[in-house]
């Protein structure tokens, strides 16, 4: 086997290993696994649960919209404050 062939083979194997390492690294970053039959790499043997999309009571503001009407003086004040933004 020629030396050039050996070199190209060496770099080929190196590139292949690098690619595998990159794929592994990327897949380990996203450890959110929504399917139930895949292995969990961090805790093998455990079944991953789907994320709970309902916000918890602590994070969700309990009150809903509570609109107040703007008075003419408030509107006038708001309008005069708006000038620097609009000029």
Nearest approach in angstroms of CB 8 to other proteins is 40
Nearest approach in angstroms of CB 32 to other proteins is 13
The first and second tokens of residue 76, run together, are 């006038």
- How distant, in Å, are the alpha carbons of 18, 25, 54, 78 from that of 59? 43, 33, 10, 32
For residues 27 and 22, give the distance between their C-alpha atoms in angstroms, rounded to a whole number: 9
For residues 40 and 48, give the distance between their C-alpha atoms in angstroms, rounded to a whole number: 7
Which parts of 10-69 interact with other proteins (CB under 8 A)?
Answer: 53, 55-56, 59-61, 63-69
For residues 34 and 47, give the distance between their C-alpha atoms in angstroms, rounded to a whole number: 9
Closer to other proteins by Cβ: residue 37 or 67: 67
With binding defined as CB under 8 A, does residue 1 bind other proteins? no
With binding defined as CB under 8 A, does residue 70 bind other proteins? yes
Q: Which positions touch other proteins (CB under 8 A)?
A: 53, 55-56, 59-61, 63-70, 72, 75, 78-79, 81-83, 85-87
């Amino acid at each position: 086997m020629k030396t050039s062939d050996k070199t190209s083979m060496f770099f080929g194997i190196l590139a292949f290993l690098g690619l595998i390492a990159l794929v592994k690294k990327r897949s380990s970053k996203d450890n959110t696994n929504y399917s139930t039959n895949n292995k969990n790499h961090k805790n093998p043997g455990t079944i991953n649960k789907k994320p709970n999309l309902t916000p918890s009571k602590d994070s969700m503001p309990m009150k809903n919209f509570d609109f107040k009407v703007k008075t003419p003086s408030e509107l006038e004040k708001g309008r005069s404050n708006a000038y620097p933004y609009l000029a």
